[in-house]
A and B are shown apart, each in its own frame.
Chain A
């Protein structure tokens, strides 16, 4: 089996959780500003998981989701995704536009999802970049609405060059209010295996292997 992933102990996981909290916290407050509602952020989890479990964790390979994806490069590289279930995506569009999307997602609806993802991902990247002291160079975020497995396996393909598992930093970002009930938006951060060493070094944490 391939073993390109760094070995992390409890302290490393704590540090990654903190990186995730800082990014997701900023993303949640930016989203709150956009929507004019309270946005709850669930405590960030850090998990090392085989690819197939990541797909299950996201709700199952065939579950339809709306996802905004960005690849970031710079001192550290990886993928970041904002994933929301299709029902919640519909509720989000309804909340922003006031229009009910009953015949699939309209062009306006796609714009709402795209813009929401841009803000969540952009503000997360900014906070992480400040915290780590790195310049992160994100690509233009792009939106897809499709099966979770199709989207996630694509975003794991770069990591697949080194490993069969990924270290995933996961935060729940859930806008509150009746109009947005049901399910949670998720922010998945998937750094490339080679980036962990640099991330820890920037924060003064040692890593072996």
Chain B
């Protein structure tokens, strides 16, 4: 079993028996997609809610929820997944620092990312079947393509599979 790793604003698609992981999600979101028949799974590490926030015309599609989620779906379909079977799970979207630190819009980026990923999935008609979002702690996530389970690890917390 191989393990693919995606960094910030990156996406990857793998198939059974491999897994795909991203480390240290804070306010970012790891959006995982899975087709349980072909056992194809994908993960994108989204950093910001909307490409309308981009100050440049060219940007990395994986960076924003509204472009990163469609990018991952596209990669899944190209790899042979069936859109009718693809389901999604998301994790991350924490608020790493307590409010009161000023610049509240920046500090609330985690919850905004969560909402934006959900909206992007809904727009594409991909059902969101599980999530582990919010809170104020970092998360490492891994999607296993043998089972479609999405594992979440955090410092000082029990490992969790959704």
Bound-state CA distance A194–B56 (Å) is: 12
Which chain B residue shows the least CB distance to A160? B47
Give the contacting residue for A142; candidates B25, B60, B63, B101; CB below 8 A.
B101
The answer for the CA separation of A71 and B103 in the assembled complex, in Å, is: 7
Given A55-B8, A162-B56, verify A144-B96 contact (CB < 8 Å). yes
For residue A153, CB closer than 8 A to chain B, the reply is yes
Q: Which residues of A contact B110 (CB under 8 A)?
A: 154
Is there an interface contact between A142 and B23, defined as CB atoms closer than 8 Å?
A: no
Chain B residue with the shortest CB-CB distance to A194: B55
Q: Which residue of B lies closest to A192 (CB)?
A: B55
CB neighbors of B among A57-115 (8 A): 60-62, 64, 69-71, 73, 104
* Chain B contacts for A188, CB-based, 8 A: none
Please state if B55 and A149 are interface contacts (CB–CB under 8 Å).
no
| CB-defined contacts of B56 to chain A, threshold 8 Å | 2-4, 162-163
Q: Which one of B54, B103, B156 lies within 8 Å of A161 (CB-CB)?
A: B54
Encode A137-162 as 1/0 by CB contact (under 8 A) with B: 00111111011111111101110111
Does the CB pair B48–A161 fall under 8 Å? Answer: yes
B9:A70 contact, CB within 8 angstroms: no
- Most chain A CB within 10 A, of B8, B47, B54, B139, is at B8
Q: Which of A70, A149, A194 contacts B26 (CB 8 A)?
A: A149
Nearest 4 interchain pairs by C-beta? A149-B24, A150-B138, A139-B102, A150-B26
- Give 10 pairs: A residue, B residue, CB < 8 Å, sorted on A: A52-B8, A61-B23, A146-B138, A149-B26, A150-B27, A153-B26, A157-B28, A160-B47, A161-B48, A161-B53
User: Which residues of A pack against B, CB within 8 Å?
Assistant: 1-4, 51-52, 55, 60-62, 64, 69-71, 73, 104, 139-144, 146-154, 156-158, 160-164, 193-194
